[in-house]
Amino acid sequence: MATRIRNIKFKLGELFCGPGGIAVGASKAEVTKGSTRYSMEHTWASDYHEDTCKTYEVNFPGVKVLCQDVKKLDIGSLGDIDAFAYGFPCNDFSIVGESKGFDGDFGGLYKFGIKVLNKYNPKFFIAENVGGLTSANEGKALKKIAHDLERAGDNGYDLTIHKYKFEEYGVPQTRHRIIIVGIDKKLGIRYRVPAPTTKDNYVTTKEAFENPPIPLDAHNNEKMGQSSIVVERLTYIKPGNNIWQTELPEHLRLNVKGAKLSQIYKRLDPNKPSYTITGSGGGGTHGYHYKEDRALTNRERARIQTFPDDFIFIGKNDSVRRQIGMAVPPKGIQVIFESVLKSFAKIDYDHIPASIMEEDYNPNDFNNFVESISEASKDDIETIEDYLQRKEYDKLGLKLWAICYERMEQQATNHAVENLNSGYLD
């Protein structure tokens, strides 16, 4: 008699879902241990961009897709989930252009994910953002986000934070992203960062485009028209080089002052992974073929992002380019989902240390300090101040520290308030 398979499916909800990069990776993630199969099942997803929502709906029929501003979203009516994923908008944390961190329009949107965690208490979550998050607001952004995520839900979450280099996981692109994996503390399950699979054998852009070749009738594979001056300019630029590395005739040069972005009219190198594919396209940032004198098609961009050829993007050329550039590479995120499932199934796998250790973001450090401060003496005050300065706590943290002094003698409280008033925190 054949063994009956027991299926454990984690119901997945997504905020800021994009066109479906996370969804594709999650849908392909599956592990089996004995007679038990672990996999993901999509329940609901939300984004605010109309074409993006339509793309998601076309490729994931039956999933509830809510297309609206997250600030107007009724989080309480989304539906129960076991797993949650969100690539909260990264514009304000990106190293491309001006980084505004929490001061920008998008910096605080991660808090809507906190609301989901508090409402539905999923067993695990995966949060994605750009590599620049580690340095945003002088490193304080990541500390604040980690602090809030670690305390979300009924039981809190054990966090594993790592900067993934997706070219080391089979993605033909140097795309680096911070991924935060959180597992309900009550479950006592430990997630480890999966070891790279292609660190010494990158998938090249030539392999991505030619193995196998893109079908002639593939969706979203239209070649965009190029002006004669762009075509002429590209004839001078060698594969892997950009316009600034190329000697050009006077009439083909760009008159640009200040910073010169390395991606301007940069051609792909056929023997290396692509540089990072973005959602922009103006000013020579479309991404350019290594052999043909033209910009990449959207299907070629999708190949670089590891979307399957039967994945259909909805919208005009610019909209599709935006969707592809802002998506999470399915093949990269699949490895992470599979590692989470292996953690739940108690299947061992090759792993490496997380690149961002707990001491780097200190989610428990301040709480531990609060617990111990009541035992501190007046002689410890200066030592405590030095400690907090070295840890680079923000203004709010030091105000909380001052409040803690209320447990101590009035003299200590006055001392803290004096520091507050004297500009110590500025």
- Tell me which DSSP letter residue 274 carries: B
Three-state DSSP at 181 gives strand
Q: Give me the catalytic one of 17, 53, 90, 404.
A: 90
Question: How many residues are there in the chain?
Answer: 426
* DSSP reduced 3-state for 16: coil
Strand 176-184 to 124-130 pairing:
antiparallel
Which backbone phi and psi does 44 adopt, to 5 degrees? -150, 160
Q: Give percent helix, percent strand, percent coil of the chain, each to the nearest 5.
A: 40, 15, 45
Q: Which amino acid is at 202?
A: Y
> Which two three-digit tokens encode residue 220?
């979203």
Specify burial of residue 396 (Cβ count, 10 A radius: 0-12, 13-18, 19+).
Answer: exposed
**Which token pair is 179?**
């991924």
Based on C-alpha coordinates, what's the Rg of the chain? 24
> How many whole angstroms separate alpha carbon 416 and alpha carbon 268?
57
Tokens representing 223?
């070649």
Q: Which residues pair with 77 in a beta bridge?
A: none
CA neighbor of 193 nearest in space, from 206, 204, 179: 179
Locus of tokens 């490729």: 59
- 404 part of the active site: no
Residue 55 three-state SS: helix
Active site residues per annotation? 90
